[in-house]
Amino acid sequence: MSPALVIVVIAAYFILLLVISALASRRSDGSTFVTAGRHTPWPVVAFGMIGAAISGVTFVSVPGMVTGSGYAYLQMILGFVVGYVVIAYVLIPMFYRRGLVSIYGFLESRFGRSTYRSGAWFFLISKMLGAAVRFFVVCVVLQELVFGPLGIPFIINVVVTIALIWLYTARSGVKAVIWTDMLKSFCLIMSVVLSIWFIARVMGYSAGGLWDAVRTHPTSRVFYFDDPMSGSYFWKQFVAGIFLAIAMTGLDQDMMQRTLACSDHRQSRKNMIVASIMQVVVVALFLVLGTLLVIFVENTEGVDMPAKTDSLFSMVATHSSMPLAVGVLFIVGLIAAAYSAAGSALTSLTTSYTIDIKGENDPTSRAHVATRRRVHVAMSVLMGLIILVFYYVSDSDAISAVYTLASYTYGPILGLFIYGMSCKSRVNDRLVPLVCVLAPVLAWATTRLLLVTLGYQTGFELLLINAAYVIVGLRLLKVNPPTCY
Tell me, what amino acid is at 483?
T
Whole-prediction pTM: 0.75
308-355 tens-digit pLDDT: 777 788 888 888 888 888 888 888 887 777 666 666 677 777 777 777
Total H helices, total E strands in the chain: 20, 0
Is-contact 362 29, C-beta < 8 A? no
The pLDDT, as a whole number, for residue 363 is 61
137-196 tens-digit pLDDT: 778 777 877 788 888 888 888 888 788 777 766 655 555 666 677 777 787 788 888 888
Dist. CA 231–CA 458, nearest whole Å: 6
Q: What is the mean pLDDT of residues 387-411?
A: 70
440-459 tens-digit pLDDT: 999 999 988 988 888 887 76
Dist. CA 10–CA 285, nearest whole Å: 24
Dist. CA 15–CA 11, nearest whole Å: 6
Of 30-44, 199-213, 224-238, the poorest mean pLDDT is in 30-44
Residue 176's Cβ-side half-sphere holds a number of Cα atoms within 13 Å equal to: 33
Burial 208-224 (b: 16+ CB within 10 A, else e): eebeebbeebebbeebb
Nearest C-alpha neighbor of 130 from the set 375, 425, 408, 443: 408
Q: What is the mean pLDDT of residues 224-243?
A: 84
Is-contact 403 244, C-beta < 8 A? yes
The pLDDT, as a whole number, for residue 89 is 92
The pLDDT, as a whole number, for residue 33 is 45
**Is the per-residue pLDDT at 400 higher than 80?**
no
Question: How is domain 3-417 classified at the architecture level of CATH?
Answer: Up-down Bundle (1.20)
Dist. CA 446–CA 207, nearest whole Å: 48
Helix (H, G, I), strand (E, B) or coil at 484: strand
Burial 327-352 (b: 16+ CB within 10 A, else e): bbbbbbbbbbbbbbbbbbbbbbbbbb
73-103 tens-digit pLDDT: 899 899 999 999 999 999 888 888 887 767 8
Helix (H, G, I), strand (E, B) or coil at 203: coil
C-alpha distances (whole Å) from 417 to each of 30, 115, 254, 414, 433 are: 28, 11, 17, 5, 14
Is-contact 432 420, C-beta < 8 A? no
118-133 tens-digit pLDDT: 888 888 887 787 777 7
Of 93-107, 238-252, 404-418, 437-451, the poorest mean pLDDT is in 93-107
Domain ranges of the chain: 3-417
